[in-house]
Structure 1
Amino acid sequence: MRKASRLFEIVQILRLASQPVTAAQIADTLNVTSRSIYRDIAALQAMGVPIQGGRGIGYRLKPGFDMPPLMFSIDETEAIVLALALLERTGDVGLRASAKSVGQKIASAMPPPLRQILARSALHAWGTIAPSPPGIDLAMVRAAIREERKIEIAYRDVQDRLTRRTICPIALIYYSEAANIIAWCELRQDLRQFRAERVEQSMVTDVFFKGEGDALRRQWVAGWELNRMAPSVADT
């Protein structure tokens, strides 16, 4: 997580907390060290964010401090509710957790009439919930796409052949029953789709493909209509 995003998340955690939150608790939530949180809180205080407390007793926001409100129409609010419900059906555990967090943040920033829409539970996304793929973490894939970092995978194709690949992930497609990873495959020297549940092992590497992601995505989109695969079709 980049520092700017982390600073925002710390403020959100403190806004939603009903009692002081320790640096260790914040660090555990954001998957960083307590030392990083101490530095971040000092940086926020230097920016004028009224954070009270200290080591050993926890931190809280001074009463009355708030972020600028989010203003949504009723239709926009219902669109958000349904979108978050749809995320609950994916096999991406990280996105499901983030959907709940987004709902809490939006609800806390809304005036009571719109907040009631979120609490009413009148809109639902029904259907099968996709299982989480056992051999790969989709949150790791999303991070690798953002960072343009290569992933090594052991992949079993539709013919039940196991191969080891190094891929440059550029996109994720979420179907109702599965997720497909779009990537440049170094073994095939071409763009391929990999069904996430057919990945048996995976490891993000320290090798990057910086600056190549956008060009690969344009190539993928340009050939989408010609080479589009059905969800049940896997790489060979």
Structure 2
Amino acid sequence: MRRTERLFQIIQILRRKNGPVRGHELAEELETSLRTIYRDMAELIAQRVPIRGEAGTGYVLDAGYDLPPLMLTTDELEAAVLGARWVAARGDAQLARGAEDLIAKLSAAVPAELQPVILDSGLMPVSFRRRSEDSFDVSLVREAIRTQKKLSISYEDEGGQATERIVWPFQIAYADDIRMMCAWCELREDFRHFRTDRVRAIAMLDKRFPERVARLRKRWQDKRECERQAGKG
């Protein structure tokens, strides 16, 4: 690992920790010597990175500090490119275009020595399953989640029976072969999952649903956890 990358990584480690990080912890994670870590910490402090602490007691990064944009390591860039390529292949049309634009912007913005990481990346997502085609533009659901708007849908179950529902969407789950809209269903008065290839009609309503998206998602997660625990019993 180059020293510049190591300095950035030290800052990232300090950012994700809640308390002081000792030098030997940094040395172990970065696979380098304790002596090198002490030199790196002295260099960061000399560059006015707001780090408090010293050898033996641990180091803390002051809250609110952030790195300049696009100061990314090779691993971070490869992760971003791989993720964007997966979205480009599996996302709805607008999301796919957004992923392609992201890769282009990264290519133009990173330093010249890091551009081959993007342009010549050997990482490519693959799938051996045929993806079901959406029956509508899924970007409408993403907009409904952002604006907390109710959706009116006509949904066809596995047996071909259609029902009319008002739902409160809070999440879209992306799998290799299908996409699922997770929502609170007013008809069932419970959480339900709707495959996007089985929605026969959809419209966004002017009405906002009363519960915050984050709260809905938390209740959904809690219910799933309870169901998992019950299944183990």
Using the alignment, how far apart are the partners of 2:221 and 2:76 within structure 1? Answer: 29
Describe the SS at the equivalent of 1:197.
Answer: coil
Which stretches in structure 1 are left out of the alignment for 5+ residues?
1-67, 229-236
Counterparts of 2:91 and 2:133 in 1: how far apart (Å)? 4
How do 1:35-54 residues align onto structure 2 when only pairs under 5 Å count? none
Shift in Å, 1:131: 4.5
Q: Match of 2:143, SS?
A: helix
Aligned length in residues: 160
CA distance in 1, matches of 2:94, 2:161: 29
Amino acid at match of 2:169: P
Deviation at 1:102, TM superposition (A): 0.7
Question: Counterpart of 1:182?
Answer: 182
* 1:1-236 equivalences in 2 (<5 Å): 69-127=69-127, 128=129, 130-134=131-135, 136-227=136-227
2:103 and 2:133 mapped to 1: Cα distance?
A: 22
Shift of 1:89: 2.7
Equivalent residue of 2:90, what SS?
A: coil
Change (3 A) 1:95 1:132: farther
In the alignment, the residues of structure 1 paired with residue 133 and residue 143 of structure 2 have an alpha-carbon distance, to the nearest angstrom, of: 17
Is the radius of gyration larger for structure 1 or structure 2?
Answer: 2
CA 1:106 to 1:162, structure 2 compared with 1: closer, same or farther past 3 Å? Answer: same
**Contact 1:150/1:205 (CA < 8 Å) preserved in 2?**
yes
AA of the residue aligned to 1:133: D
RMSD across aligned positions (CA) = 1.7
Q: Determine what percentage of the aligned residue pairs are the same residue.
A: 33
Distance 2:102 2:133 in 1: 21
Give the direction of change, closer, same or farther, for the CA distance of 1:167–1:141 in structure 2 (3 Å limit): same
| CA shift for structure 1 position 69 | 4.9
Greater relative CO, 1 or 2 (CA 8 Å, sep 6+): 1
CA shift in 2, pair 1:211/1:187, >3 Å: closer
Question: Contact 1:88/1:129 (CA < 8 Å) preserved in 2?
Answer: no
Q: 1:199 to 1:159 in 2, by over 3 A?
A: same
Quick check: 2:85–2:100 contact (8 Å CA) kept in 1? Answer: no
Does the 8 A contact of 1:149 with 1:210 survive in 2?
Answer: no
Question: Cα distance 1:69–1:187, how it changes in 2: closer, same or farther (>3 A)?
Answer: closer
Q: Distance in 1 between matches of 2:134 and 2:91?
A: 7
TM-score of the two chains, using structure 2 as the length reference: 0.64
1:119 partner letter: L
Report the alpha carbon displacement of residue 122 of structure 1 after superposing the two structures with TM: 1.3
Question: Which residues of structure 2 form unaligned runs of 5+?
Answer: 1-67, 229-233
Q: Deviations over 1:47-98 (max 9, x none)?
A: xxxxxxxxxxxxxxxxxxxxx6511101111111111111123141111110
TM-score scaled by length of structure 1: 0.64
CA deviations 1:154-202 (Å, max 9, x no partner) are: 1001121101111110111001101000001111111100011000111
Q: 2:103 & 2:223 partners in 1: Cα distance?
A: 36
